[in-house]
Structure 1
Amino acid sequence: MMDFFSKTPEPPYYAVIFSSVKSENDTGYGETAKRMVSLAADQPGFLGVESVRAADGRSITVSYWNSMDAINNWKHHTEHQAAKEKGKSVWYESYAIRIANVEKQRLFSGEGND
């Protein structure tokens, strides 16, 4: 299960928390979501991502970044902008985006790697 967790560096760094409720229309959503993770991973300053989705359409995705500049660059990336617009018009009933400064982290693994 440790592969679920992003291998983030020692703080400080930033977390972008994207909480959403999907609409009934998910045409093309899965492919676009995978593309956005792949594209984000290629961006300077990207540190990792963790995501969970419930069967009822609720999800939380947390992406980690080394700076606010990196977050802003990703926010304005052309392909990401297009996906966000489609999300607003087709895929999401509602969502919230929060940006947090990670000041401390504690990692635990039942395998003794904390």
Structure 2
Amino acid sequence: MSEQHLAPVGPVPVPAHEPPYYVVVFTSTRTGHDPDGYTDTARRLSALVRQIPGFLGEDFAHTPGGLAVSVAYFRDLAGIEEWRRHPEHADAKRRGHERWYERYVIHIARVEHSHGFTRT
């Protein structure tokens, strides 16, 4: 769902939205090699998720040691469910289990408060 392979940190944080909304936090460590198709698949999924109704944006970061965190923001649970069941996303999850990830954890939470700051 993210372009975490392209840069250590996403370019601009997703702005605060009017609550309530939902976040999907995907924390992962990859296998030790760079398997076929990961980069192209990540780019494709990042483009596809933007078409899901209620998708608000995504943030991502990763460490040189291999920990990656992707946070996707959705207006409602219906959008998360639509994304979960998307055929290309489901296929990518299968390939992730088979070769791309050592482990991952997904957390889904409802955001009750949100605010931000930007230096002018």
Using the TM superposition, give the Cα deviation of residue 56 of structure 1 relative to its aligned residue in structure 2, in angstroms: 1.8
1:97 aligns with 2:83: no
- From the two aligned structures, give the one with the greater helix fraction: 1
Conservation of the 8 A alpha-carbon contact between 1:20 and 1:92: yes
Conservation of the 8 A alpha-carbon contact between 2:20 and 2:112: yes
> What's the counterpart of residue 24 of structure 1?
32
Using the TM superposition, give the Cα deviation of residue 16 of structure 1 relative to its aligned residue in structure 2, in angstroms: 0.2
Distance in 2 (alpha carbons) for counterparts of 1:80 and 1:25? 22
Gaps of 5+ in 1: none
Among 94, 97, 100, the alignment partner of 1:88 is 97
> What's the counterpart of residue 74 of structure 1?
83
Q: Structure 2 length as normaliser, TM-score?
A: 0.86
Distance in 1 (alpha carbons) for counterparts of 2:109 and 2:33? 30
Distance in 1 (alpha carbons) for counterparts of 2:43 and 2:63? 17
Conservation of the 8 A alpha-carbon contact between 1:46 and 1:64: yes
Identity within the alignment, %? 38
**Runs of at least 4 residues of structure 1 off by over 3 A?**
none
Distance in 1 (alpha carbons) for counterparts of 2:114 and 2:16? 9
Q: Structure 1 length as normaliser, TM-score?
A: 0.90
Distance in 1 (alpha carbons) for counterparts of 2:12 and 2:58? 9
> What's the counterpart of residue 13 of structure 1?
21
Conservation of the 8 A alpha-carbon contact between 1:13 and 1:66: yes
